[in-house]
């Protein structure tokens, strides 16, 4: 089967969050917004009940993996969980009783992609604490998917989180870790490996011949020559020098506070930052509804909306499906990408 013909695998996410309702909304907008065919991996009866509760006329069809594309125009295809687990959930009230189903949906999506039945994975948001309190060992999808991608006897790949939009693309070098741990984790090796993956994936999957990277500093004023912290001078600058000597177009470390205004954004394709929030605050400010979370460095394509479970609005029917739709569309394009396909990186100056 050609990659164009395969559906995307959409995970359940936290069933008490907005994932199920934005999946229903995305399906309703499939024609208007050219949403590519997807199948949700979960409990068909739960999706049906969610549609009913919200007053949405969405037919839900229980499918086999190969049926989704044919079914998609007329019904939301839902593939039951391999274990047959069912789901009950109260919107806005996360319950670790569903942790097994949430995790199983993710592993099933990876299995579908591995088997060549789905072209890419799109994940609905999970609440990390709901899973970790029942022993889930990974801080997020990004790290879990890398563990699932590991080949026997080999180190798992280094997963790289990129948040992408038409306005800005950003990569946090450290991801889900406490701020106080960042200086220790921010090694020259990590910066270099991260930048190499970003460079390679922007070329191979996003079709950019010569991606322009920048790296922000960790400290105020990128350390002000070592007077406000030494990591910028002693760790980040040598990483940039080494990467440049390999032919990677990267500048930095540059002061983070002046890296995200419009003229600065026109000078690069993607900004790498030492910490999670240095990267995610600007993109969620500029493009919250359109932003997509893409995991680079994996042997398969995975995207996700940029937002979380939004328990505060779950079940109210007001959650916007835009970021999920952007994630579905980007996943399809990346799965089909060839070297001659240039995705709209916004920031070409």
Ligand X SMILES: NC(=O)C1=CN([C@@H]2O[C@H](COP(=O)(O)OP(=O)(O)OC[C@H]3O[C@@H](n4cnc5c(N)ncnc54)[C@H](O)[C@@H]3O)[C@@H](O)[C@H]2O)C=CC1
Binding site for ligand LD2JLWAY (CB under 6 A): 140-142, 280, 293, 304
Q: 3-state SS of 127-140?
A: CHHHHHCCCCCCCC
Q: How far is residue 261 CA from its own chain's centroid? A: 24
Tokens coding 206 = 């996003």
Q: Is 302 annotated as a binding residue?
A: yes
Per DSSP bridges, beta strands 121-122 and 76-80 are: unpaired
Tell whether residue 199 is among the known ligand binding residues. no
Chain centroid to CA 85? 26
Q: Site for ligand X (CB under 6 A): how many residues?
A: 19
Per-residue x/- marks for ligand X, 115-144, CB under 6 A? ----------xxxxx-----------x---
Classify residue 210 as exposed, middle or buried by CB count within 10 Å of its CB (0-12, 13-18, 19+).
exposed
CB of 37 to ligand LD2JLWAY, least distance (A): 23
Shortest reach from residue 55's CB to ligand LD2JLWAY, in Å: 30
Using the Cα atoms of residue 115, residue 119, residue 125 and residue 129 in order, give the sign of their dihedral: positive
Q: What would the two tokens of residue 290 be?
A: 């359109």
Q: Burial, 29: exposed, middle or buried (Cβ in 10 Å; 0-12, 13-18, 19+)?
A: middle
Beta strand 292-296 with 160-164: parallel, antiparallel or unpaired?
Answer: antiparallel
C-alpha to C-alpha distance for 332 and 325, rounded to whole angstroms: 11
> 228, 220 in Cβ contact below 8 A?
yes
- Residues 39 and 27: their CA atoms lie apart, in Å, by 10
Residue 142 binds which entry of ligand LD2JLWAY, ligand X, none, with Cβ cut-offs from 5 to 8 Å by kind? ligand LD2JLWAY
The entry of ligand LD2JLWAY, ligand X, none near residue 319 (CB within 5 to 8 angstroms by kind) is ligand X
* For ligand X, the closer CB: 255 or 288: 288
Is residue 141 annotated as involved in ligand binding? Answer: yes
**Taking the complex as a whole, how short is the minimal distance between the CB of residue 258 and ligand LD2JLWAY, in angstroms?**
23
172 in contact with ligand X (CB under 6 A): no
280 binds, among ligand X, ligand LD2JLWAY, none (CB under 5 to 8 A by kind): ligand LD2JLWAY
307 interacts with, out of ligand LD2JLWAY, ligand X, none, CB within 5 to 8 A per kind: ligand X
Residue window 287-326: x/- pattern of binding to ligand X, with contact defined by CB under 6 A = ------x----------x--xxxx-xx-----xx--x---
Which residues participate in the annotated binding site for substrate?
A: 141-142, 284, 293, 302
The site for ligand X (CB under 6 A) is made up of 18, 22, 125-129, 141, 293, 304, 307-310, 312-313, 319-320, 323
């Amino acid at each position: 089967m050609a990659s164009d013909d395969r559906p995307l695998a959409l995970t359940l996410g936290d069933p008490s969050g907005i994932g199920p309702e934005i999946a229903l909304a995305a399906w309703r907008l499939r024609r208007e917004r050219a949403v590519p065919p997807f199948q949700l991996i979960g409990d068909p009866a739960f999706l049906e009940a969610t549609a009913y509760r919200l007053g949405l006329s969405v037919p839900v069809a229980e499918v086999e993996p190969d049926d989704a594309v044919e079914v998609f125009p007329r019904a939301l295809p839902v593939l039951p969980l391999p274990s047959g687990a069912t789901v009950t959930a109260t919107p806005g009230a996360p319950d670790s009783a569903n942790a097994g189903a949430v995790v199983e949906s993710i592993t099933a999506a990876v299995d579908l992609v591995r088997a060549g039945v789905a072209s890419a994975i799109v994940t609905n948001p999970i609440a990390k604490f709901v899973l970790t309190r029942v022993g889930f060992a990974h801080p997020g999808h990004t790290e879990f998917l890398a563990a699932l991608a590991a080949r026997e006897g080999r180190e798992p790949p280094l997963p790289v989180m990129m948040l992408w939009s038409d306005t800005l693309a950003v990569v946090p070098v450290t991801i889900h870790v406490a701020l106080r741990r960042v200086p220790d984790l921010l090694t020259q090796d990590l910066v270099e490996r991260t930048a190499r993956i970003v460079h390679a994936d922007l070329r191979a999957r996003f079709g950019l011949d010569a991606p322009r990277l920048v790296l922000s500093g960790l400290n105020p004023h990128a350390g002000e020559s070592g007077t406000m912290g030494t990591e910028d001078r002693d760790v980040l600058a040598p990483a940039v020098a080494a990467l440049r000597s390999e032919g990677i177009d990267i500048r930095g470390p540059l002061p983070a506070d002046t890296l995200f205004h419009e003229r600065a954004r026109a000078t690069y394709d993607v900004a790498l930052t030492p910490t999670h929030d240095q990267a995610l605050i600007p993109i969620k400010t500029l493009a919250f509804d359109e932003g997509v979370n893409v995991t680079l460095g994996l042997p398969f394509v995975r995207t996700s909306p940029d937002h979380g479970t939004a328990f505060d609005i779950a079940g109210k029917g007001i959650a916007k499906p835009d970021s999920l739709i952007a994630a579905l569309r980007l996943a399809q394009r990346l799965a089909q990408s060839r070297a001659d396909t240039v995705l709209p990186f916004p920031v070409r100056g």
